[in-house]
Each structure stands twice: as structure tokens, then as C-alpha cells.
Amino acid sequence: MRPHPFYQRPKIYRMLANKGVQLESWIKRRGAWGRIFSYLLLLAITLAPIVLPIYWLGAVTDQSNIAEIVALALIYIGFLIGLPFWGKRIHGWPHPFSRYGLSLRLQTARDLLLAMLIGMLGVFALFGLQTLLGWAEPAVPSHRFSRFVVEGLIMALAVGFAEEMLFRGWLLGELEADYGSKPALWMCALFFAAMHFIKPWAEIVRTFPQFLGLVVLGLALVWARRSPTGRPVAKVTHSAKLSNRARPRLGYPIGLHAGLIYGYYLVNVGGLSKYTGEAPEWITGIDNNPLAGLLGLVLLGAIAYAFSKTANPKAN
């Protein structure tokens, strides 16, 4: 006579626990990219029963945009919830979020504000130069400009935090655990650019300069992540052991990323400037995207060079 399922539960739990230990051991033996895709796959399997019905509900109610926003938010929340367990179980880090560069300190907020100011002023300087050269001209701001100021700030900070925690926090941490300074730098920058450049082949060819801009931006953000907090200008001695206060964190990359987005949002969506068409697109940017033009590349290159002079070989 077979025992009641209730009495089989401990055996099932032991089997699942053993499988979990085996999976954990297998993941630990993988290289950086094996661990990266393993985490993403586990995240997808875990959240699929929640996310897929949301997409289906959005499709049948003709609310696909709202459903996508909700689904992406849940996926990212799941990503953040899983990071502490991943860091402790796979890497043995006692404080995973600190290892990824997330620290709730006043200095982190200062770093964020400083880098955000750098990004915004860079965008304003870019359009100011184009105005002086006759390639752009000031425009009457939108009557909803005050709304765009608040809306753009929230959006820029949200995108900056989400992408930097993902790419320069977790992804860079995984790469730096296995690779040297330069390979991790270039792999992180290229992966970041590739993830933002998923589009039809014809569009890839037409807007290829934008990919170059994304790569340079990715390099700048990695160097910003590796720059010790509170030291945005002075040269850092790489051989010196950094104090906890001077350790590189996510303040600089979040701020820089948010500042570039916010500055462009105010100029473009807020209607502060418009192109005159006097200069070719390969200079000002294909489809009015500064990242896809020569001037934008020069701006990002200058920012990247400045942060490269303060960056440590690795973030940790």
C-alpha cells in the first residue's frame, strides 16, 4: 500500500534540496557568462507564471503598453530580490549589494548629483555649440515644460538606477570576478551597446554610428563605476588600498547616465532647441540622436577620458 502523499513530502523536499545544491555547485563552476545567463534563465523561469498572464491580459484588454510596464517592473523587482541570495550563495559575498556598488550613503548622493550635473552640462554645451555654428536654434519651450522638468527627472533617475544596477553593478561584478580589467571593460561596454541596439538589420546598418556612441557611453559608465567616490578629478593611486569611504560605487554612473538622459529630454521633448538642417546628420546625429553623430561621440569621448583618468583597474 502506497503511503499518503502527506508522508512523502519530507522525501520530496530532500530531493528538491539536493537538486538545488547540485545546481548551485554546477553554477559555481561556470565562467562569468555561464553564471550571467544562468541567473537570467532562473529569473525567467521563476517569473514566467506571473509575467506571461500579465502580457496576455494586456493583449486581450488592449492595454499592452501598461501591461508591458507592469511586467518589466515586476521582472526588475525580481532581479533585485534575487541578487543578495545570488551573491551570498554563488560568490560567498557577505554584503552583495555593497559589492555591486549600491550604498545608501550621503557621499553616494553627492557623487550622483555631481555626475548628473556633468551629463546635463555636457548635453547643453553640445546644443550650445551647434547653436553657435548655426546647426541648431533656440525654440520656444513647450507649454508643458514644467511638467516635463519633473517627469523627465523621475524617468532619468529611474532609468539610470535600473540600467546601472544591471550593467555596471551586477554584470560588471560577474565579469570582473573572472576577467582582467580591460576584457571586463570592453565586454561590459559591448554587451550594453548590443542590448540597446536590437532592431531590424536595415535599421542597424542605417543607424550604425549610434552603436559606436553606445560603446563609448558604455566605456564612460564603466570608468565612472570604477572611480573612487568623492574623487572625480584627482588621480587615484591604484596600488593604494582604498578606505571604505573612497571605494568605487554606483553614484557616478547612475548620475552620469541620468544626467545625459535628463539633459536631452529637456532639450528635445521640452522643445528648447531644434535643428536647422544646415549640417549633415553624421555630424549632428542620425534621427536627431546626438549619440549617432560626430559631436555626440566627441562629447562622450571627453567624458569617458576624464573618468578613465580617475578609475581604478577594477570596481572591487
Closest alpha carbon to 283 in 227, 203, 232, 213 = 213
Is the confidence at residue 119, as pLDDT, over 60?
yes
**Which cell is 247 given?**
571605494
**Predicted pLDDT of residue 229:** 80
**Predicted pLDDT of residue 105:** 87
Residue 66 lies in a domain: no
What are the tens digits of pLDDT across the range 14-24? 666 677 778 88
Query: 219 vs 105, 109, 224, 290, CA distance in Å?
Result: 25, 22, 9, 17
Q: In this structure, are residues 249 and 103 in contact, taking their beta carbons and an 8 Å threshold? A: yes
189: confidence class by pLDDT, cuts 50, 70, 90: very high
Average the pLDDT over 173-193 and give the result: 96
User: 214 versus 21: which is more confidently predicted?
Assistant: 214
Closest alpha carbon to 291 in 136, 121, 126, 166 = 126
DSSP 240-255: SPPPSTTSB-SHHHHH
Residue 160 lies in a domain: yes
Residue 223 lies in a domain: yes
Strand partners, 273: 138
Residue 239 lies in a domain: yes
112 class by beta-carbon count within 10 Å (0-12 exposed, 13-18 middle, 19+ buried): buried
**Predicted pLDDT of residue 24:** 82
**Predicted pLDDT of residue 140:** 84
287: confidence class by pLDDT, cuts 50, 70, 90: confident
The 3-state secondary structure of 57-121, one letter per residue = HHHHCCCHHHHHHHHHHHHHHHHHHHHHHHHHHHHCCCCHHHHCCCCCCHHHHHHHHHHHHHHHH
- Number of domain units in the chain: 1
Residue 42 lies in a domain: no
**Predicted pLDDT of residue 315:** 85
Residue-range definition of the domain harbouring residue 124:
105-316
Q: Which residue has the cell 583618468?
A: 309
